[in-house]
Structure 1
Amino acid sequence: MNNVGGLDRVARIVIGAALIILAALGVLGVWAYIGIVPLLTGLLHSCPLYSVFGVNTCPKHKP
């Protein structure tokens, strides 16, 4: 189920990609590869933690 939409999705993709790029360039440590998590949740429109806490930023699927 999609629960990530709009600005939330764009921010996740940009921040995730930036962290991965900075880690690959050696600017940040290996920990920055955690950027894969926001990148994937943004690309897949779904965040498991949002489901657990009942959060939904996707306008198409709001109750």
Structure 2
Amino acid sequence: MQNVGTPDRIARLIIGALLIAAPFLTGWPIWASALAFWAAIIVGVVLLATAVFSFCPIYAALGLNTRGRRRA
């Protein structure tokens, strides 16, 4: 069952890619912390995965759906 709509997927793809790339490309001091570095990578991968599969377990647990209704 898919529960992530197109605008939501696009936002997840962009934010996920930015979170994965930021620690490697920006050089900001926050990424010197191992916790911040790995948290950004893990959250970015989760966002990308939920966008690719159009399924978010948190949305499912909360009964949310951003896909909208299909027309018959």
Q: TM class by shorter-chain length?
A: 0.7 to 0.9
Unmatched runs of 5 consecutive residues or more in structure 2: 32-36
Counterpart of 1:7 in structure 2 is 7
Does residue 18 (structure 1) correspond to residue 18 (structure 2)? The answer is yes
Larger mean CA deviation between 31-40 and 18-27 belongs to 18-27
- Structure 1 unaligned residues grouped into runs of 5+: none
TM (norm. structure 1) is: 0.82
Q: Number of residue pairs matched?
A: 61
Q: Which runs of 4+ in 1 moved over 4 A?
A: none
- TM-score, with length taken from structure 2: 0.73
Identity of aligned residues (%): 43
RMSD: 1.7
* SS of residue matched to 1:59: coil
Bigger Rg, which one: 2
